Amino acid sequence: MANPRTIARLEARIQERAAYCLQFEVNDPRASFITITRVKLSSDLTSAKVYFSVLGDASDKSKAQHMLDHAAGFIQRQVSRVLEMRRVPRLTFYYDDSAEHAADIAHLIHEARVRDMEINPKLKDEPPVKPTDPKLAEELGMLDDDLAPEFDLSEEEPAEGEAEGEDAEDADDVEDDADADAEPDGPGSKR
């Protein structure tokens, strides 16, 4: 069994090289919207599961899976050039549905929150949680007006003359200290 850090390093190299290969070296139009999401390397380093996602519908997914199955040998050969191993792991490609699963869970949470608001009207006073994905917000029917206001966490600007004058004085003191350190006392003088 290999060291977990070695496995993590090799997984990252495989992911990086496979993604580069799909983007620049595979001359297949089906490879245009494929993203390598993660790589899972076995503990004995003989096989690697390469997970990918595709932008599109079910037909695009099946076309991408078919293309990756046929290009697996080429991609494996390209990956072997950057790995410093005697035996290169065998690459198998799997569709990663974690993004779809996360969207489904977010949709279920939103539905539960709507049901809770129907049961307890006091919850309607609380602002809804804003999804980070704008497509998900659109899919859930949450318009920008319905969303919680964005809070600005930046510091408020100081009033004129309050803190600005103090900062300027502090900056002058720092410059004076720096000038004093830079002036030599003379040759052979000790401090």
Give the CATH number, domain containing residue 8: 3.30.300.20
Task: Decide: 138 and 103 in contact? Cβ < 8 Å.
Answer: no
> What is the model's pLDDT at position 14?
96
Band (pLDDT 50/70/90 cuts) for residue 143 is low
**73-118 pLDDT per residue, tens:** 999 999 999 998 899 999 999 999 988 888 899 899 989 888 888 8
132 and 56 in a common domain:
no
* Domain extent at residue 78: 4-96
80 and 20 in a common domain:
yes
> What is the model's pLDDT at position 132?
75
Across 18-27, 44-53, 130-139, least confident range: 130-139
> What is the model's pLDDT at position 185?
54
91 and 23 in a common domain:
yes
Which residue from 47, 35, 53, 61 is spatially nearest to 10, judged by alpha carbons? 47
In the predicted structure, residue 167 carries a pLDDT above the cut 60? no
In the predicted structure, residue 180 carries a pLDDT above the cut 70? no
E strand segments, the chain: 34-41, 47-54, 90-95
Task: Decide: 10 and 46 in contact? Cβ < 8 Å.
Answer: no
